[in-house]
Amino acid sequence: MSAAGAAGPAGHGQPSGPSAGGLRTDQAPPLSIPASFFLVAPVAMIASGVLLASSDVVLVSRLMPFAMAATHLGTLGFLGALMLGALYQMIPVVAGVPVPWVRLAHVVHALFVAGLGMLVAGLALGTPTLLVVASIALLAALLLFLGPVAVALVRAPATNETVWGMRLAVVGLMAIAALGTVMARARAGIVEVGGDWRGWVSAHAVLGGVVWVGGLITAVSWQVVPMFYLTPPLPRWSCWATLAALGLALLVVPSVLLVGGGPAGVLVGAVPALVMVWWVHPIVTLRAIHRRRRRRADGSVRFWWAALSLAPLVPVLAVGAVLGSDERWSVALGWCVVWGWAGMIGHGMLTRIVPFLVWFHRYAASVGVLAVPSMRALLPDARIRLALWLHVAAVVAGLLAIVTGSALFARGAGVLLVVTGVALALNLVRTLLRRTVTATRE
Ligand code: HEM
């Protein structure tokens, strides 16, 4: 470790201390809060892989109980946990205001994990009681999360595009949780829902996949891609057009439901957002990454390349899922969005954000005083690339299983998802366990 080794975030041309690159890092929450949510993600990936490897039906029909369970391990367990942790971390940094009562996050974490476990078991085993208790625990977790986060987002002095994207995504999360709770109670036979059940499921899936997941990842990318890779800023027209499309989906989709509409009506409301998030965003982001000033292509850049290359498939699969009769359209759609596009971006960002947070919380104050490791030394690129190739192999095997109907590919995809989850867990734990340096002066 040498002074050069001390080239952490500060050495990357960003001033260290409370405001890095104009971002307020002094208001960041304690590391344990985002870290506790980030650690749920690999566990959910492993559990989803085990479900896939132990059953032939998960990638055959989305309506199978195991498929529903695997869907929520991916959407809530992997993506949901990542995104809750990221919001706790990024709102103070990007919006310039701390999340109030941030220690509530530990209660949110406990309720979220318990609710998720019960939802997955309830969907897999078809047990009404578990479904109802799960929806109550999840609703409580999300309300305890959304309250403080909403206060912060309303109070935020910064009104940049990312803050508006976060606001829309968070409203989307509330709508999904409300729909999911009603659907869980309907599945348990406690309530009856009006209109077309497929309309409910599509509205729930679109608000989840397009507004919450698609909206938040796109909005956050407008900050992190220029910040991490020193790219030019992403074009403002694409940001505002995306925000307008997400707002439209948030307005139209629930209205379709109110009038008893079905999947086709839901799709109409989602088309502009589908185009902006999965056709326009990949083009403008790949162009920006191509023009980046930091030329070294680390593992996390490659995760962006892989995910953005897969993205243009999503709108095609969405139209096929609604207008086509073959089940494979909707299974492929779920697989591409959850483990493909969003899963790879989430995985890639974890490999960048976690070493940054550990460096910032444990080493930043020692720069120039003690020999501190570089961010790269906290999580070597070779380990990130191994996890990347495992993740890509899992996504490809899953797609082959869906297209061919082959049980062998499906189980292979399950095993690869388990191994990817283990690689991710080891990378996160190894980085989070790095302790502060000993008092040796250079
Ligand atoms: C509070 C949290 C949630 C609860 C209680 C919940 C509950 C449910 C229920 C009961 C179903 C219907 C199952 C059936 O038809 O039998 C369902 C389906 C679904 N949920 Fe959730 N959900 C939640 C959150 C989410 C999130 C955050 C996402 C996405 C980001 C999501 C994505 C889906 C999808 C894609 C389906 C449809 C599966 C299909 O038929 O293809 N859910 N959910």
Write the pLDDT tens digit of every residue in 288-320. Answer: 999 999 888 889 999 999 999 999 999 999 999
Is 80 a pocket residue for ligand 1 (Cβ < 6 Å)? yes
Residue count (the chain) = 442
Q: Which stretch of DSSP H or E encloses residue 366?
A: none
Relative to the CA of 68, which ligand 1 atom is closest?
38
Give the three-class secondary structure for 128.
helix
For the record, the structure tokens of 270 come out as 């989602």
Q: How many CB atoms lie within 10 A of CB 368?
A: 11
Does the domain made of 3-432 have the CATH classification 3.40.50.261? no
Q: What local confidence, expressed as pLDDT, does residue 95 receive?
A: 86
Is 75 a pocket residue for ligand 1 (Cβ < 6 Å)? yes
Q: Which stretch of DSSP H or E encloses residue 208?
A: none
Is 118 a pocket residue for ligand 1 (Cβ < 6 Å)? no
pLDDT category of residue 437 using cuts at 50, 70 and 90:
low
Is 83 a pocket residue for ligand 1 (Cβ < 6 Å)? no
Query: How far from 442 is each of 6, 7, 360, 367, 439, CA to CA, in Å?
Result: 11, 14, 20, 11, 10
Amino acid at 442: E
pTM of the model: 0.92
Q: What local confidence, expressed as pLDDT, does residue 6 receive?
A: 40
Q: Is the dihedral of CA 422, 425, 430, 431 positive or negative?
A: positive
Each residue's pLDDT tens digit, 257-280? 888 888 888 888 999 999 999 999
Pocket residue to mutate for ligand 1, from 176, 217, 267, most atoms within 8 A of Cβ: 176
Each residue's pLDDT tens digit, 143-161? 999 999 999 999 887 789 9
Which residue, among 166, 119, 167, 153, has the nearest Cα to 139 in the 3D structure?
119
Q: What local confidence, expressed as pLDDT, does residue 430 receive?
A: 95
Question: Is the pLDDT assigned to residue 441 strictly greater than 60?
Answer: no
Alpha-carbon 192 to chain mean position:
32
Which residue, among 112, 109, 113, 122, has the nearest Cα to 69 in the 3D structure?
122
Contact between residue 100 and residue 152 where contact means Cβ atoms under 8 Å apart: yes
Relative to the CA of 134, which ligand 1 atom is closest?
5
* CA–CA dist 155, 266 (Å, integer): 32
Pocket residue to mutate for ligand 1, from 130, 143, 183, most atoms within 8 A of Cβ: 183
403 Cα to the center of ligand 1, angstroms: 24
The residue whose CA has the least distance to atom 3 of ligand 1 is 180
Contact between residue 207 and residue 250 where contact means Cβ atoms under 8 Å apart: yes
Contact between residue 227 and residue 265 where contact means Cβ atoms under 8 Å apart: no
Pocket residue to mutate for ligand 1, from 72, 135, 185, 328, most atoms within 8 A of Cβ: 72
Is 202 a pocket residue for ligand 1 (Cβ < 6 Å)? no
Is 243 a pocket residue for ligand 1 (Cβ < 6 Å)? no
Mean pLDDT along residues 21-40: 82
Domain boundaries, the chain: 3-432
Computed over every residue of the chain, the mean pLDDT equals 90
Q: How many CB atoms lie within 10 A of CB 13?
A: 11
For the record, the structure tokens of 416 come out as 């690869």
119 Cα to the center of ligand 1, angstroms: 9
267 Cα to the center of ligand 1, angstroms: 17
Mean pLDDT along residues 240-267: 89
For the record, the structure tokens of 67 come out as 């498929």
Is 411 a pocket residue for ligand 1 (Cβ < 6 Å)? no
Each residue's pLDDT tens digit, 184-221? 999 888 888 888 888 899 999 999 999 999 999 999 99
* CA–CA dist 158, 279 (Å, integer): 28
Q: What local confidence, expressed as pLDDT, does residue 62 receive?
A: 82
Amino acid at 96: G
337 Cα to the center of ligand 1, angstroms: 14
Contact between residue 24 and residue 403 where contact means Cβ atoms under 8 Å apart: no
Question: Is the pLDDT assigned to residue 109 strictly greater than 80?
Answer: yes
Which residue, among 209, 205, 330, 196, has the nearest Cα to 262 in the 3D structure?
196
Q: What local confidence, expressed as pLDDT, does residue 295 receive?
A: 86
Query: How far from 10 is each of 17, 33, 364, CA to CA, in Å?
Result: 8, 23, 8
Relative to the CA of 177, which ligand 1 atom is closest?
1
